[in-house]
Structure 1
Amino acid sequence: MRVLLTGSSGWLGRFLAPALQAAGHQVIGIDVAPGEHTQVVGSVANSELVKRTFLNFEVEAVIHAGALHKPDIVRQTTQSFIDVNLTGTLNLLTSAIESGVDRFVFTSTTSVMISQAIRTEQGTAAVWLDERSGPLEPRNIYGVTKLAAEGLCRDAFLKHGLPCIVLRTSRFFPEDDDTHGIPSGENLKANELLYRRATVEDMADAHILALECAPKIGFDIFIISAPTPFTREDVTDLKLDAASVVERCFPGASTLYALRGWTLPKTIGRIYDPSRAEQVLGFRAGIDFAAVLEALEQGNELPFAHDPTYLPPHADFSFATAG
């Protein structure tokens, strides 16, 4: 298929584009920044550009992975978030419907499920989050616009029959966290694979599966993250003493961590449950926390990307890959 991929110059795009090509698809990349897999340089907020792209490249499917995301809040206006994340999504959906496209995959974010209370970890137990969680009260303009864009996808399916799959992706960025400094770097990313992260390679695989399954599913929403070793019965213990729960699930984990100078999480306030994506899409992340421990034990390279110098591609009117 000829697949229009937005955010093709970003972190996810640089992995997803070649994965799509390896699966036999032709990729038409659109991004505000030039890149190896970007044929169209411009913003999805430009409706005329979007229409011309669909017409000129005879687009057959869409993966909409481009967006302004959370770190952009400090450098972009609220209106820019609305223009890119919301109007841009509407432009793509409109052209997809007019062009007879038969599948649309939207890269959303687990941030749409994180209220201020969850963000500040209020309460006496960790919050178990799945696709039924609610009410949804996103805490910033990033989450607000991504949730509204999910609604546009749902509306496009209900009114026009456009099959749309929404993927609420957990963390997969390579740079350091912009709000959490302790533990930092690789230690934090390893910990997050327990409950709120996946590798970018696994994220790319999830998108390809969603693209394949969209016509038979119609519309649905899936959380995409590495499988958690925890159960709902662990939520109180995870809030009080997460390290003990991790050690119970993975005997010897604390010793392997200590040898590297790392620390297990003291408390965990939320857990993303990706099990429904496995049940319906057949997707299960290949890299999880067990893979990290195996790498530590064998002295191998860590199975996830970490690059504190990474900066998303930007232009005067930028959008980076979601996550």
Structure 2
Amino acid sequence: MNVLLTGSSGWLGRHLAPLLESDGHRVVGLDVAPGPHTMLLGSVDDRDLIARAFRDHAIDAVIHGVALHQPDIARYPKQRFVDVNVSATLGLLEEAVAAKVDRFVFTSSTSLMISAAIREGRGEAAAWIDETLAPLAPRNIYGATKLAAERLCRLIHDEHGLSVVILRTSRFFPEEDDQAHVIGLSGPNTKANELLHRRLTAQDAAEAHRVALARAPDIGFGLFVISAPTPFARADAAALKQDAARVIAGYFPDAPELYARRGWTLPRSIDRVYDAGLAERVLGFRCRTDFSGLLDVLRRDDPLPFSHDPGYVSPQAASRMNG
């Protein structure tokens, strides 16, 4: 298939494009910044550029991965989020329908599920977050626009029958956490802890999109949380909030010792858990890297299975700085 991949120079795109090519697809990459898999330079909200992409490259499928993200809130006005995250998504969907495209995969975010109450850790138990969580109350313009884009995906599916799979990915960015000064842990320590409940690797994020592309026609419309499988059960929610380290040690008795060797600290409290069980049951996708696998790496003293790059800058941000 000829696959239009938006965000082809970004963190997801650079991991996903080689997978698609290995499956025999022709990747037509679009991004504001050049990259080895980027064929079309420009913004996703340039409707003329998008129309030409469909017309000139006989597009069969779309993976829409580009967006303004939470760190961009400090860089762009709200209207720009609407332009890129909402209006551009509608443009892609409409052009896909006009071109009789077979399938559409949309990269969304678990961030849109996090209300102010969850973000602030209110309540006596960790929030258990899966596709049934409601009502959704995004706390910022990023979450609000991603939710709006999801609803456009559903609308176009209902109206035109376009096969759409939405992937609400948890964290897989390489850069430092924006709350690092509050967390007080090293970046690798923080990312390791998050594999318990709110993170996946970039490689797994790319693989999830690869699977979604293949399965979209069979699913018709699907929305899935994509995150490393958590070892916890719903019954652990209260204990995780009060004493997460004790719960973790119950599941993984040698985790405290393995962490101590690295000078790391297990989380004292966990305020949310992403449950990716539906993706495993319906989409047929399960992340390869989980916390148990991380501990195996620590036992062998092998390289960590995730990337940490405090200096990483997204193509959108780099384009703005260079512009």
The TM-score, its normalising length taken from structure 2, stands at: 0.97
Aligned to 2:51: 51
Aligned to 2:151: 151
Structure having greater relative contact order (Cα 8 Å, sep ≥ 6) = 1
SS at match of 2:134: coil
Distance 1:111 1:289 in 2: 21
Amino acid at match of 1:276: L
Alpha-carbon offset, residue 310 of structure 1: 1.1
Aligned to 2:60: 60
**Maintained 8 Å contact 1:12/1:200:** yes
Whether 1:180 aligns to 2:173 is no
Aligned to 1:287: 289
Aligned to 1:314: 316
Distance 1:206 1:125 in 2: 29
**Maintained 8 Å contact 1:43/1:317:** no
Q: 2:214 aligns with which of 197, 212, 215?
A: 212
Aligned to 1:244: 246
- Gaps (5+ residues) in structure 2? none
Whether 1:118 aligns to 2:118 is yes
Distance 1:122 1:294 in 2: 34
Alpha-carbon offset, residue 176 of structure 1: 0.7
Alpha-carbon offset, residue 316 of structure 1: 8.4
Q: Which runs of 4+ in 1 moved over 4 A?
A: 315-318
Distance 2:267 2:19 in 1: 33
Identity of matched residues, %: 58
Amino acid at match of 1:272: Y
Distance 1:67 1:168 in 2: 13
**Maintained 8 Å contact 1:174/1:305:** yes
Aligned residues: 318
Aligned to 1:222: 224
Alpha-carbon offset, residue 315 of structure 1: 6.3
Amino acid at match of 1:5: L
SS at match of 2:112: helix
Distance 1:196 1:314 in 2: 24
SS at match of 1:271: strand
Alpha-carbon offset, residue 184 of structure 1: 2.4
SS at match of 1:4: strand
Aligned to 2:267: 265
Alpha-carbon offset, residue 138 of structure 1: 0.4
**Maintained 8 Å contact 1:54/1:99:** yes
Distance 1:152 1:49 in 2: 21
SS at match of 2:180: coil
Alpha-carbon offset, residue 220 of structure 1: 1.2
**Maintained 8 Å contact 1:32/1:315:** no
Distance 1:59 1:75 in 2: 32
Q: How does 1:8-87 map to 2 (within 5 A)?
A: 8-87=8-87
SS at match of 1:15: helix
Distance 1:189 1:315 in 2: 23
Distance 2:318 2:287 in 1: 35
Amino acid at match of 1:177: D
SS at match of 1:112: helix
**Maintained 8 Å contact 1:9/1:34:** yes
**Maintained 8 Å contact 1:127/1:269:** yes
Alpha-carbon offset, residue 140 of structure 1: 0.3
**Maintained 8 Å contact 1:33/1:315:** no
RMSD over aligned CA atoms reads 1.0
Distance 2:180 2:164 in 1: 34
Distance 2:252 2:319 in 1: 46
Alpha-carbon offset, residue 44 of structure 1: 1.2
Relative to structure 1, the CA distance from residue 261 to residue 46 in structure 2 (aligned partners, 3 Å threshold; closer, same or farther) is same
